[in-house]
Structure 1
Amino acid sequence: MTLWQRLTAKPDLDKTLAADHQLARTLTTRDLIVLGIGAVIGTGIFILPGTVAATTSGPAITLAFVLAAVVCSLAAMCYAEFASALPVAGSAYAYGNIVFGQIFGWIIGWALILEYMLAVAAVSTSFAAYFQSLLSGFGLTIPKDLAGAFDPAHGTYVNLIAVVVVLIIGFLLSRGMSTSMKVNRAMVVVKLAIIALFVVVGAFYIRPVHWQPYLPFGFKGVLAGASLVFFAYLGFDAVSASAPEVRDPQKTLPRGIIGTLIIATLLYVAVAVVLTGIVSYTRLDVADPVSYALALIHQPQLGGIIALGALAGMFTMMVTMIYSSSRLVYAIGRDGLLPQWFGHVSRKLPLNALWTVTLVIAVMGGLVPLTQLVNLVNIGTLIAFAFVSLGIIPLRRHERIENHGFQVPGYPVVPVISFLFCLLLMSQLSRETWLMSLVWFGLGLVVYFAYGFRHQGKVQD
């Protein structure tokens, strides 16, 4: 066997499809949509509509959200078809491994590890900042040395709240999906109720004159806004990580993925419509546009409620991403590309992978300054999207994969358009982002050739 043949070796399909039989199938369509909304709708819904409207799109920010959702739905449909055809743990990593071969699966998996862990670590620090602000309203403070990343020169040693919230989520997930889903559902309900409260209250203060002119920056502004708000939808792909724990995955997974995107679009558009109707878009380039708008209509008491919504949004996002990253690491360990200790299942849960991921994220959120690294989340996501979009073509041609569930309409045009759009967005990322990503993938190749290449194909029974 040549080197290229070994690099592009594909796992045994039957073993891969049967490898996750130890995991408990408990999740329903509602659970998946809760997971998806938990990941997609975070603090951005209270910030992005205002700042993008002010700087890029004007009141037509609503069109920008719809356009971004349409483009994002292309990748979402590709994910839905893969999830229907291959209901296995590992999401895009597993899909790439099966249709492209091992080295491509590893690259996708390595990109997703970066995306999930960095995203959660960054959000944990934001959660800590919001929580500290909430405590200060009650006259309570966290000692400075426990309120920031490790930086002795500035008197900070660990961000204690960031560490604690990640460990709490890890503990919840370790208790089983039924327990963690109850907490997650409650948090999502709180978040949605607060968004609905803003929309309903704000609707009474809308002045249509604020929507004029509707296209102050022209259609070019709408396109530019769509490219910015596209990233607001990222997270729906995490739903596909739950495949082996879902009831009737061929129907449930596509519904969960596409349902998440539809609901998220409606929420973003509703907030954007109300926000730009309350305040002229020219005044929304502020750090917290929603709180600013509430102050202008003399409803400052709702600002504290919005802060609670932000905390709930960040908490549910972390739940989904820690869950998804643990299943990803489990799947890579299951396949032998990481030590099979990660692929071990205990009490119908991949606890080794879960606690490893939780501890790594807790250390990153508590000790590491992440300001310059969060842009890597976007490139990791787009790489996965690009491979999944293009992968629909070999998936359809695969002789042994039969899919009687969801299929992407407009094949092969839609997958190709989705792939090209991912490349377009990647081309817009900064040079620094590309350089940092090359370092990450260089490290990934070292890990792969040092371990995974020599242990390939060891799918656990």
Structure 2
Amino acid sequence: MTARIGVARGAALYVGAVLGPGVLVLPALAVHAAGPASLLAWAAMLAVSVPIAAAFTALGIRYPDSGGVATFTRRAFGPKAGTVVGWWFYTAVPMGMVAGAMAGARYAATALDTGPDAAAGIAAVMLAAAYAMNLVGLHLSGRLHLALTGGLCALLVTVIVVSVPHIAASRFTPFAPQGLPGIASAAAVLFVAICGWEAAAHLAGEFAHPRRQLPIVATASVSIIAVLYAGLAICTVGVLGASAGQNEVPLLRLLGPQAGGGAAAAAALCALLLTFGACFTFIAAAARAGAALGRDGAFPAWFGVTGVDGVPRRSLAVQASCAAVVAVAALAAPTVVDVDLLMRAFSVLVASVTLLGLAAAVRLLGSPLIRSGAAVGAAVVGGVVVCGGALVVLPAAVAVAAMAWRRYHPAPRDLPAGTPVARPTAGTTSRRIAVVDVQPRRAYNLMNPGAGISASTRSRPPSER
């Protein structure tokens, strides 16, 4: 029987998904774009993250399935849309994990004043460890991940506490040297800071009691992330001022001489923990997404086979192989396949996934408050997708490939919404297993977990009526 995760481990996974290596450089990049007014961009992005988190949490409660956003989209708009979203997410993760590992490793290597060869080795070790830990399942590896996330949060809180006494009011003026365009530019940069909720949605089915646990996990995660991001953003402006974007290791400068010789080690450790946490959670989500796609006919059925412990090792092996190919390409042609290109490609694909997931929330959920928040979040995310420039051809190309697969491999008839399929075990796929349960049609308010709102017939897609 598959072991389940609890609230503490779930919160660690959610925090790890959202609080990635971007926290190391994003505050400084935002200051470079907008000056002290970058704090307004931070406030806007953190405010948007609340309805996004609420929407994905409510969807996870109603459909606690490893398919995540692909499942939500399939329920709302049909199997073709679900296939496209699943392919987007599965394609994005190898690129994002390689880019994140390389960026985090370079940050750590710079902090420790080592060479580029050391950075490549650090990135390889982090990725290997993240994939290896996922092989043993979230129940066992989640304990270590919980400890690592706790240590990371303690380190970041220490950085904030050490920096606060050195904040100077003079560094907040002029407040908006680049005006409104600068604030908008900073907000676009900071979108990466609120990515991750779509990945966490794939883990909803891993909870022992998702209806009760998910609202607690999401609320705790949003609170922790908001406090850490806001604290680092304020300290970056107040301590470093306009010079924040002129250093490759702003976190090291925040610690400054007051931290003594341990500042470099602390900055490097933060980089490693942040990177590893994000990689671990996204890899877990992508492996489960691939298994769900195999189960639903959007991938070959081979992907849908899992072990008796519920770990989707076949899908995980494909993810690891794809990441290895991307890493080799980045090493062989660093001027073509660089970290910036990989991260931008990852961002536009994940933003597309988030956009469709929020649209599904508007269609499926019954709470007017959560649906309205999802609509606002979708508008913001849609703007980010449009700003992807030429890279918007990437989700379009993946969508064409997904539709070509669907044309020659029609999906089995969709089950009614709210009727999950039993998890596949070794040697079987879920398409051969009967429906075992029916989920009540209720949506929950993230800020008031005890208040359920029944989904009206009007909010269900036509196939459910």
Query: Offset of 1:385 from its aligned partner?
Result: 1.8
Counterpart-to-counterpart distance in 2, 1:51 and 1:266: 19
Q: 8 Å contact 2:21–2:278 — kept in the other structure?
A: no
Question: Of the candidates 5, 17, 30, which is equivalent to residue 52 of structure 1?
Answer: 30
Query: Offset of 1:280 from its aligned partner?
Result: 2.1
Query: Offset of 1:33 from its aligned partner?
Result: 1.5
Tell me the residue number matched to 1:155: none
Tell me the residue number matched to 1:395: 364
Question: What is the TM-score when the length of structure 2 is the normalising length?
Answer: 0.80
Q: 8 Å contact 2:159–2:254 — kept in the other structure?
A: no
Query: Offset of 1:231 from its aligned partner?
Result: 1.7
Question: Of the candidates 380, 388, 412, which is equivalent to residue 421 of structure 1?
Answer: 380
Instruction: Determine helix, strand or coil for the equivalent of 2:343.
Output: coil
Query: Offset of 1:300 from its aligned partner?
Result: 5.9
Question: Of the candidates 303, 324, 327, which is equivalent to residue 365 of structure 1?
Answer: 327
Question: Of the candidates 206, 214, 235, which is equivalent to residue 175 of structure 2?
Answer: 214
Counterpart-to-counterpart distance in 2, 1:135 and 1:300: 11
Tell me the residue number matched to 2:427: none
Tell me the residue number matched to 2:313: 351
Q: How does 1:41-190 map to 2 (within 5 A)?
A: 41-56=19-34, 58-130=35-107, 161-190=122-151
Question: Of the candidates 354, 361, 374, which is equivalent to residue 343 of structure 2?
Answer: 374
Note the alpha carbon deviations across 1:210-252, whole angstroms, 9 max, x for none. 2233344445543432232122111122221112210211232
Instruction: Determine helix, strand or coil for the equivalent of 1:347.
Output: coil
Query: Offset of 1:87 from its aligned partner?
Result: 0.8
Counterpart-to-counterpart distance in 2, 1:255 and 1:183: 21
Counterpart-to-counterpart distance in 2, 1:355 and 1:51: 35
Q: 8 Å contact 2:131–2:320 — kept in the other structure?
A: yes
Stretches of structure 1 lacking an aligned partner (at least 5 in a row) = 1-21, 149-158, 397-406
Counterpart-to-counterpart distance in 1, 2:241 and 2:370: 43
Q: 8 Å contact 2:17–2:282 — kept in the other structure?
A: yes
Letter of the aligned partner of 1:437 in structure 2?
Answer: P
Instruction: Determine helix, strand or coil for the equivalent of 2:15.
Output: helix
Q: 8 Å contact 1:162–1:362 — kept in the other structure?
A: no
Tell me the residue number matched to 2:213: 252
Q: How does 1:10-49 map to 2 (within 5 A)?
A: 24-49=2-27
Counterpart-to-counterpart distance in 1, 2:241 and 2:224: 26
1:459 is the counterpart of 2:459: no
Query: Offset of 1:441 from its aligned partner?
Result: 2.9
Query: Offset of 1:324 from its aligned partner?
Result: 0.5
Letter of the aligned partner of 2:102 in structure 1?
Answer: T
63-72 or 298-307, larger mean C-alpha shift: 298-307
Question: Of the candidates 252, 258, 273, which is equivalent to residue 291 of structure 1?
Answer: 252
Instruction: Determine helix, strand or coil for the equivalent of 1:453.
Output: coil
Counterpart-to-counterpart distance in 2, 1:134 and 1:297: 16
Query: Offset of 1:330 from its aligned partner?
Result: 0.7
Counterpart-to-counterpart distance in 1, 2:195 and 2:343: 14
Note the alpha carbon deviations across 1:310-355, whole angstroms, 9 max, x for none. 0111011110011000010010011122122211121322222222
Counterpart-to-counterpart distance in 2, 1:93 and 1:301: 45
Count of aligned positions = 410
Stretches of structure 2 lacking an aligned partner (at least 5 in a row) = 415-429, 434-465
1:225 is the counterpart of 2:183: no
Q: CA RMSD in A?
A: 2.7
Question: Of the candidates 438, 446, 455, which is equivalent to residue 396 of structure 2?
Answer: 438
Tell me the residue number matched to 2:227: 266
Query: Offset of 1:185 from its aligned partner?
Result: 1.4
Aligned-residue sequence identity (percent) comes to 20
Counterpart-to-counterpart distance in 2, 1:41 and 1:385: 17
Instruction: Determine helix, strand or coil for the equivalent of 1:410.
Output: helix
Instruction: Determine helix, strand or coil for the equivalent of 1:345.
Output: coil
Instruction: Determine helix, strand or coil for the equivalent of 1:88.
Output: coil
Letter of the aligned partner of 1:416 in structure 2?
Answer: A
Distance 1:387 1:123, change over 3 A: same
Question: What is the TM-score when the length of structure 1 is the normalising length?
Answer: 0.81
